[in-house]
Structure 1
């Protein structure tokens, strides 16, 4: 796996974990930031042809 692809997938993984943690902590501000980061990470991965298991076709 190429370095960029690995980094993109790691960014998505970390963003998902951050979103889950914020949700579990009932932290609305952190959850909003984490959701934004995840959206951006998925967009970058998609734009560069990196397949994720987003469930939204990305």
Structure 2
């Protein structure tokens, strides 16, 4: 049986949403810990995840606006 390495749009969107959610959690934890380096790393990850989502037409900003 041949398995496809293709990922469906729904799976991709779910993975992006999870990446954004995790980055937001890490940013919040870094801010609470007052760890400037961890804040910078987490902010970069969040920015990258949001950029990737936008490039593919996904609105992750609205999804996370009511979280936290």
Pairs aligned (count): 55
* Matching of residue 28 in structure 1 with residue 4 in structure 2: no
* Greater than 4 Å deviation, 4+ residue runs: none
Kindly report the root-mean-square deviation, in angstroms, between the aligned alpha carbons of the 2 structures: 1.5
| Whole-Å separation in 2 of the counterparts to 1:27 and 1:12 | 20
Q: Which has the larger radius of gyration?
A: 2
TM-score when normalising by structure 1: 0.88
If asked which structure has higher relative contact order (CA below 8 Å, sep 6+), I would say 1
TM-score when normalising by structure 2: 0.75
